[in-house]
Amino acid sequence: MPIASALKRAVLDILFPAQCLGCRREASFLCRRCSRALPKIAPGCIVCKKLTPARGQVIAGRTCRPCRKKSNIFAFFSPYLYENEIIRDLIHKLKYQRVHEIRTVLADLVIRSLDYFTVKIPAEGIMIPIPLYPSRERVRGFNQSALIAEALCPTLGVGYRPDILRKIKKTAPQMGLSAEKRRTNLIGTFNFTDEAAIKDKTIILLDDVKTTGATLEEAARVLRSAGARKIWAITVAH
């Protein structure tokens, strides 16, 4: 972070100290008590949303058997609802107000939820954040999914490769489009840069929010075409 930006952030922290978005007390953006009180959503199939808890050799969040031909995603984990006011406010503050410290709050929520539902992320996995189109990232100044992934990887002990997947097509907003138009809107959106780094690997796609799942599915399709063995998908909320 440039010195001027760091100084500006320090002054703002003094003038406007962090408040918990739940109880509004000065401490952090989400205190431990409010964090624990957030309702968690059990893992389910990314296609039909049927709950898929850990059972024997079946991992929590595994795409259910009838849906496996419809998806390139091996397992999906998204522990919170975007309609929850606290979750939505946290994501908005990171994404639109550029409060980068919130990435550690969101990463911690994901890690605690993985532990809660006993979801074991493969140690050999490589985490790839869903990329933004270059011009959009330049305007925003960062990719919020990459920030969250950077905070997650050290604790999960997985590799981090933000350079493998690129967004090469500027797409129209997905909101308001029909299911069919959402799919066609995303065709040709992504490509990969390093096939050797993908082939026979377990890839963990990371995004902040899943809406229809079309973006995750298209990214997974491209990575599978490059020879990825399994594709996990994780989002903070859906």
Residue-by-residue DSSP string for 41-102: PPPB-TTT--B---BTTBPTTBPPGGGGGG-S-SEEE--B-TTSHHHHHHHHHHHTS--TTH
Please indicate, yes or no, whether residues 49 and 67 belong to a single structural domain of this protein: yes
Each as own residue / partner, the long-range contacts of residues 132-136 (CB below 8 Å, 24 or more positions apart, any chain) are: 132/167, 133/167, 133/169, 133/170, 133/171, 134/167, 135/170, 136/170
Please indicate, yes or no, whether residues 30 and 125 belong to a single structural domain of this protein: no
Number of Cβ atoms within 10 Å of the Cβ of 88 = 16
What's the confidence (pLDDT) of residue 38? Answer: 97
Please indicate, yes or no, whether residues 45 and 140 belong to a single structural domain of this protein: yes
Residue 173 has pLDDT above 70, yes or no: no
What's the confidence (pLDDT) of residue 185? Answer: 76
Please indicate, yes or no, whether residues 119 and 227 belong to a single structural domain of this protein: yes
Please indicate, yes or no, whether residues 168 and 207 belong to a single structural domain of this protein: yes
Please indicate, yes or no, whether residues 169 and 209 belong to a single structural domain of this protein: yes
pLDDT in tens, 19-67: 999 999 877 899 999 999 999 999 999 999 999 888 887 889 999 999 9
**What is the pTM (predicted TM-score) of this model?**
0.90
Please indicate, yes or no, whether residues 45 and 85 belong to a single structural domain of this protein: yes
| Geometric angle at alpha carbon 92, from 38 and 73, rounded to 5° | 70
Please indicate, yes or no, whether residues 17 and 84 belong to a single structural domain of this protein: no
Task: Classify 154 as helix, strand or coil.
Answer: helix
* CA–CA distance, 108 with 114 (Å, rounded to integer): 10
- Pairing relationship of beta strands 159-160 and 126-129 according to DSSP bridges: parallel
Please indicate, yes or no, whether residues 65 and 181 belong to a single structural domain of this protein: yes
pLDDT in tens, 92-148: 999 999 999 999 999 999 999 999 999 999 999 999 999 999 999 999 999 999 999
Please indicate, yes or no, whether residues 207 and 146 belong to a single structural domain of this protein: yes
Q: Give residue 14's pLDDT band: very low, low, confident or very high (50, 70, 90).
A: very low
Please indicate, yes or no, whether residues 224 and 109 belong to a single structural domain of this protein: yes
**Which residue range is the domain that position 32 belongs to?**
1-37
Total domain count for the chain? 2
Task: Classify 190 as helix, strand or coil.
Answer: strand
CATH code for position 191:
3.40.50.2020
Residue 151 has pLDDT above 80, yes or no: yes
Please indicate, yes or no, whether residues 22 and 120 belong to a single structural domain of this protein: no
